[in-house]
Each structure stands twice: as C-alpha cells, then as structure tokens.
Amino acid sequence: MAVRNSIRWSTQAEADDMTASLRGELRTNESMAKHCSWRCGGSAKHYFMPADVADIQALLKQLPQDEAILWLGLGSNLLVRDGGFDGTVIATQTAMTQLELKDETIVSAGAGVSDARLARFSTRQNLTGGEFFAGIPGLVGGALAMNAGAFGGETWRQVLSVETLSRDGNIHTRRVDEYDISYRHVALKNSSQQEWFIAACFQFARQDAVAASEVLDIKHYLSKRAATQPTGSASCGSVFRNPENDFAARLIEDCGLKNKRIGGAVISEKHANFIINDQAASATDIEQLIELAQHTVYDRHGIALQTEVCIVGSHS
C-alpha cells in the first residue's frame, strides 16, 4: 500500500498495511531523540528496522518515488530538527551486520557493522590498517558515505569495492574509481540515481603475531580519544570539517567560543569542535550554536566552516 502524502504523519493503520509484506518492524511518528547521540530532535513519519537487505527492497517497492529516505546508523553524525523528518528512516544497525575474513588481508563488512567492531575484528585477524576505525563512533555505512576518519586514517584508503542499493531496489557492486573521494566527501560519478551503501570489502595488511601485539593496540586509540574529546557527553562527535591546513577546533577556540551556550547546548570546554547537549537542549539550540560558530569564525578569520554533521528535517 502506498503511503499517502496528503497528511504530515501516517497513521499506525497505514503502517500495519505496509508491514504485511515486511519482516522487520515499521513504526510511525517515532521520536528521533531516542536514536540520535545528541538526544534531541523531532519525530520521523516512518521508522523502519529491517530484517535484512531483502526487507529493505520490499519496503522501497511500496514507498512513493518522492518519499524522503534517511539511512540511519548509530545517529552519531545527525541532527534532526525539532519539526521532525517527513519521510522514512531506515535503521541499518538491525541488518547488514555480516563481518568475515574473505582472504588473508581482505575483510568484508556490512553497512550495519559498527566501526569499533570492524577495528576489533581486523586486529584479531592480525591485520593492521584498520585500527583507526575504533575512533569513529558510527557504523560502516556512515563511514563509507562520508569517508570518515580518525587518528590519521581514512575509510576509503582501505576500500577495495562496495555494494550499494539503489532507490529502485537493485543491488550494485561498485569499484573505488567510480567515486569522487576526498576529505569527508564521497559521490558516485556520472549518476543521478540515489544509492546507499550496504557492504564493503576492506584491504588491510598482515602482521605477524608478535608485531600485531605491539602495533595493533586499539586501547591506545580509545585512550587518546577519551583524553582529548568529551566522549561521555551527548554530542555528535566533530561538528565541523577541518579546513585545509587548519583545525576547526583551533579556529573556534581562538574566537573565545569555548563554553559558549545557547539554551541547553554548549560548546565543549574539552574540544571546541564538539557541541554538548547537557541541559535538555532542543535541536534549535544546537543549530543556532552551529550557526554562531560559523558566523564568528568567518567574521574573524574569513574561513567558512563546513558542517560534518548531517542536518535534516523541518524547524516546525
């Protein structure tokens, strides 16, 4: 049954009709504050927790072609505005969780695998090159979509190939050279169709057991992250991309914006590229603080900070 677009929120009865052919759980009017690491934001019209990729394909067949779709990992790089998301959210952490060693140095991971799990798995196989994934607080799908990185490592430096799912429900295997890839940016070349990452093969390097025990120390990366970032607070991780030859945190701190507050949101004292929800902030509080940092840095340094966080939905 097609979802009617004439009303803002679909009813549960409509969702029940849709779920007749689905094996996962489909919710309506789902609060996204429960699913985003900032712990704020409005509701999604539909929120789908699929059983697997085939379940997502079944859902896509039923949605109108103009239905807005948002793929969600751990919600660690997402701000949903207070007016909510008038579309369908697909939660990938309930599906696409396969993780296996394909040969001596190649690891295959589904988009729903956490980056930390990928890091641990690769080190247990005595592989090096994937330790940095331990510092990315999200899933493989999100890391692929934005070329996420940490501690000098970057996702697409390790990618051999990817699998994607297009809006028409077809699965594609893509080579790395089919994408434009740069710092926190990934785009499919010569294509207007919408595709989402469902899996990838990663190339790592093999270490002997002795070397691995000395080099592949994930705890070192996690300790470094905890020492420099407010990891126990409600945040999205880094809010802004680092401009070329500089750091967003340095620019924001230089403007005297550490501890700057709007409503329940505050720029972290520990790391100026983090915005913390420490007093029941609204999404509007956070977005206004983002805009304040951008305007202040531009006025003082002439640098336009670009957001790393994805901002979706309506204000009201």
Whether residues 116 and 197 share a domain: the answer is yes
Amino acid occupying residue 263: G
pLDDT in tens, 202-260: 999 988 654 544 444 677 777 777 777 887 899 999 999 999 999 999 999 999 999 99
Task: Give the span between the Cα atoms of 278 and 265, in whole angstroms.
Answer: 6
SS3 293: helix
Could you give the number of structural domains in the chain? 3
Same domain, 222 and 234: no
| Joined tokens for residue 275 | 């915005």
Is residue 269 annotated as a catalytic residue, yes or no? no
Of 4-8, 21-25, 93-97, the least confident: 4-8
The predicted model scores a pTM of: 0.88
Is 261 labeled as catalytic in the residue annotation? no
Percent of the chain whose pLDDT exceeds 90: 79
Question: In this structure, is residue 31 part of a structural domain?
Answer: yes
Among 226, 257, 277, which residue terminates a domain? 226
Task: Give yes or no: residues 27 and 141 share one domain.
Answer: no
**CATH code of 120's domain:** 3.30.465.10
The rounded mean pLDDT for the chain is 90
The pLDDT confidence band at residue 6, using thresholds 50, 70 and 90, is very low
- Quick check: is 163 catalytic? no
Q: Let me know whether 135 and 160 are in one domain.
A: yes
Query: Where is 179: in which H helix or E strand?
Result: strand 179-182
The confidence band for 45, taking pLDDT boundaries of 50, 70 and 90, is very high
Give the model's confidence band at 192: pLDDT under 50 very low, under 70 low, under 90 confident, else very high.
Answer: confident
Residues 125-174 pLDDT 10s: 999 999 999 989 899 999 999 999 988 899 999 999 999 999 999 999 99
pLDDT attached to residue 92: 92
Question: Which residue among 27, 81, 120, 184 is the active-site one?
Answer: 184
Considering the domain architecture, whether residues 21 and 131 belong to the same structural domain is answered as no
Q: Which of 175, 191, 226 is the last residue of a domain?
A: 226
Give me the pLDDT at residue 148, please.
95
pLDDT of res. 229: 84
Let me know if residue 136 belongs to a domain. yes
pLDDT at 199 over 50: yes
Catalytic residue among 108, 235, 238, 268: 238
Which residues, in sequence order, are CB contacts of 227 under 8 Å at separation 6+? Answer: none
Mean pLDDT of 183-197: 91
pLDDT confidence of residue 222: 74
Query: Same domain for 88 and 106?
Result: no
Structure tokens, 127: 């592989």
Residue 268 lies in a domain: yes
Question: Residue 213's domain spans which residues?
Answer: 99-226
Question: Does residue 55 form part of some domain?
Answer: yes
My answer on whether 69 and 37 are in the same domain is yes
**Does the residue 1 lie in any domain?**
no
Question: Looking at residue 245, which CATH number applies to its domain?
Answer: 3.90.78.10
| Same-domain status, 157 and 267 | no
pLDDT, residue 1, reads: 28
Are 53 and 119 found together in one domain? no
Q: Are strands 149-150 and 159-166 parallel, antiparallel or unpaired?
A: unpaired
* Within-domain flag for 66: yes
Pairing mode of beta strands 310-312, 78-80 = parallel
3 state DSSP class of 15: helix
> Which range among 15-29, 79-93, 113-127, 141-155 shows the weakest confidence by mean pLDDT?
15-29
Same domain for 216 and 110, yes or no, is yes
Catalytic residue among 14, 30, 287, 308: 308
Residues 130 and 217 in one domain: yes
For residues 180 and 119, state if they share a domain: yes
CATH number, residue 68: 3.30.43.10
Of the residues 42, 67, 94, which one is the last residue of a structural domain?
94
> Does residue 86 fall inside a structural domain?
yes
Q: Name the pLDDT band for 18 (thresholds 50, 70, 90).
A: low
Residue 3 lies in a domain: no
